[in-house]
Amino acid sequence: MESLPAEFWRGLEEFNRQEFYACHDTLEALWMEALHPLKLFYQGILQLAVAYYHLGNRNWKGCVILLSTGIQRLEYFAPEYVGVDVETLLDQSAECLNALQELGPEAIETFDPGRIPQIYYLREAA
CATH of residue 108? 1.10.3450.10
Assigned domain for 120 exists: no
Neighbours of 124 (CB within 10 A): 12
Assigned domain for 122 exists: no
Assigned domain for 121 exists: no
**Which three-class secondary structure state does DSSP give residue 79?**
coil
pLDDT digits (tens), the chain, 126 positions: 458 899 999 999 999 999 999 999 999 999 999 999 999 999 999 999 999 999 999 999 999 999 999 999 999 999 999 999 999 999 999 999 999 999 999 999 999 999 999 999 986 544
Assigned domain for 75 exists: yes
Q: Where are the alpha helices (DSSP H) in the chain?
A: 6-16, 20-33, 38-56, 60-74, 86-103
Assigned domain for 123 exists: no
Write down the pTM of the prediction: 0.93
Residue-number span of the structural domain to which 55 is assigned: 6-115
Assigned domain for 68 exists: yes
Assigned domain for 39 exists: yes
pLDDT number for residue 9: 95
- The structural domain count of the chain equals 1
